[in-house]
Amino acid sequence: MSDPIICKNVAALVTAAESLLKQHADQRIFLFYGEMGVGKTTFIKAICKILGSNDNTSSPTYSIVNEYKIDETQESIYHMDFYRINKEQEAVDIGLDEYFYSGCYCFIEWPDKIINLLPPDALKIEMKNMDNTREITFLSA
């Protein structure tokens, strides 16, 4: 577990995203935990930008999975949001394993909805709102 990173503005969020990718350069599956409105999608947007994607990143709440491309390599980035699913089988039905074992970046919001399907080595990221700031902690897989 890392020390929490305190983000008071967008610049600090970008710095946190850079730190995440540097500290966990070999990681491909990231689990984002936090209340509704804490900034999970905003943080993922910053990470995608740093990875080199200029695609329009947005919450996949209704589509469940959004795919973005890294401009230079055309490698896929998968952004998933399981808030709306009712059963883990719904995630299985969309081919979750194929995403996880693709070798591509997978950013998952609301992973607690698919707890039994998560790879054990996925990196957990906990986000909290604290007095008009975001607190981000990288937890061991």
The pLDDT of residue 2: 66
Global pTM? 0.92
- Residue % of the chain over a pLDDT of 90: 70
Tokens of 39: 């900034």
The pLDDT of residue 37: 87
Question: How long, in residues, is the chain?
Answer: 141
35: burial class by Cβ within 10 Å (0-12, 13-18, 19+)?
A: exposed
- Quote the DSSP letter at residue 7: E
Question: How far apart are alpha carbons 43 and 57 in whole angstroms?
Answer: 11
Mean pLDDT, residues 85-97: 95
| 140: confidence class by pLDDT, cuts 50, 70, 90 | low
Show the domain range for 98: 5-139
Closest CA to 48 of 23, 73, 79: 79
Mean pLDDT, residues 103-123: 96
Question: How far apart are alpha carbons 34 and 130 in whole angstroms?
Answer: 12
Residue 141 has pLDDT above 60, yes or no: no
The pLDDT of residue 13: 84
Closest CA to 100 of 125, 75, 80: 80
Residue 72 has pLDDT above 60, yes or no: yes
The pairing of strands 5-7 and 76-81 is: unpaired
- How many domains would you assign to the chain? 1
CATH of the domain at 124: 3.40.50.300
The pLDDT of residue 132: 77
